Structure 1
């Protein structure tokens, strides 16, 4: 499994546009083959930061996602929405254990 964690600092003046775009991206991405889970959330300590948590079955699913129309739209519009440099981390996961609380 591949897990991506992406952090995007958003221009406060474009926050609503960014949230709409993120919502569309999440909705469409969760319908893709090979996507286990795809979520976006606003940071609780900074409402102008959007974090994406993405889980894929394999590298082919990541590649397919990056070639999708909705992801390309997101990438095209993103530079106008940012207030700083994004950070994207990839984790290659061999084992997952669900923990109880």
Structure 2
């Protein structure tokens, strides 16, 4: 399984535009083959940071995602929305278990 966590600091003046793009990206990404889960949220400590949490069955599913029209559209518009450097981390996970709280 491939897991990505990304944080994008967004220009406050472009926040609504960024949220609309993120909403479209999430909706369409969750319909892709090989996608386990694709979520976006705003940071509780800074509403101008959008965080993505992505889970793919494998590297092929991730690669396929990066070639979709909705991803390319988001990627193309992202530089105009940013207010700083994004942080993106990729994890290769062999096993994941659900914890009971």
TM over 0.5: yes
Give structure 1 regions of 4+ aligned residues with deviation exceeding 2 angstroms: none
TM-score for the superposition, normalised by structure 1: 0.99
* Secondary structure, aligned partner of 1:67: coil
In structure 2, the partner of 1:61 is 61
Structure 1: gaps spanning 5 or more residues: none
Q: Deviations over 1:26-73 (max 9, x none)?
A: 000000000000000000000000000000000000000000000000
- What is the TM-score with the length of structure 2 in the denominator? 0.99
Unaligned residue ranges in structure 2 (runs of 5+): none
* Distance in 1 of aligned mates of 2:76 and 2:97: 36
Aligned counterparts, 1:80-99, within 5 A:
80-99=80-99
Say which SS state the counterpart of residue 75 (structure 1) adopts: helix
**Offset, 1:97:** 1.0
Q: 2:38 maps to which residue?
A: 38
Quote the residue 1:2 is aligned against.
2
